[in-house]
Structure 1
Amino acid sequence: MDEHLFLVTYDIRDVKRWRRVFRLMKGYGEWLQLSVFQCRLSRRRHAEMLEMLDGAINGKVDALLVIDLGPADRIKPRVVSLGEKFEPVAREPTIV
């Protein structure tokens, strides 16, 4: 499977929309910090996530970044982590 590792971070101005985005992101990746997730996604899941997020935010006042870190099976993120240990998302089977 051709998956990429993504870092998703967002600044949502409304608490209700923030909660909706947070719940949505929990279905696509691992929560790292308040508004930061790491996701291991196929092209299809990536496109699905973007469509869902686009419908959940207010594009006039909210900001959301999706950073493609590269092919998940060939990338070893170099991260400096202070405090709680950082673990990259591992490949797991997806049941559809």
Structure 2
Amino acid sequence: MSGRNYYVVSYDIMDPRRLQKVHKTMKGFGEPLHYSVFRCDLTLKGRAELLVALHQLIQHDQDRVMIIDLGPADGRVAERIEFLGVRTREPDRGAIIV
């Protein structure tokens, strides 16, 4: 399966330095919805790379990461995320040049 799924990734990191590293890493995988909540559009390989990166950064006896699979990126994901108050800006889905 080579399709892409949307994931919501949320984390609680106890050390400020690790928190900064995790946040910086997450910016490489997705769009921030809040400081410690990201929406990621990933292939299975991208999800595996994310898991490896986070596994290496966090302290497993102190920190916590939650990953929620919202399903296919071409599905109805936008309808599954609801905001109250100020809504985050949708990422630009313009042309991708490879």
Q: Using structure 1 for the length normalisation, give the TM-score.
A: 0.87
Give, in whole Å, the separation in 2 of the partners of 1:70 and 1:88: 18
**Residues 9-28 of structure 1: CA deviation (Å, up to 9, x unaligned):** 00000000000000000000
Structure 2 unaligned regions, length at least 5: none
RMSD between aligned alpha carbons? Answer: 2.0
Structure 1 unaligned regions, length at least 5: none
Q: 5 Å matches for 1:15-54? A: 15-54=16-55
Q: How many residues align?
A: 95
Give 1:86 shift. Answer: 4.0
Q: Classify 1:90/1:3 alpha carbon distance in 2 versus 1 (closer, same or farther; 3 Å).
A: farther
**Residues 39-73 of structure 1: CA deviation (Å, up to 9, x unaligned):** 00011111001100000000001000111110111
Identity score, percent = 37
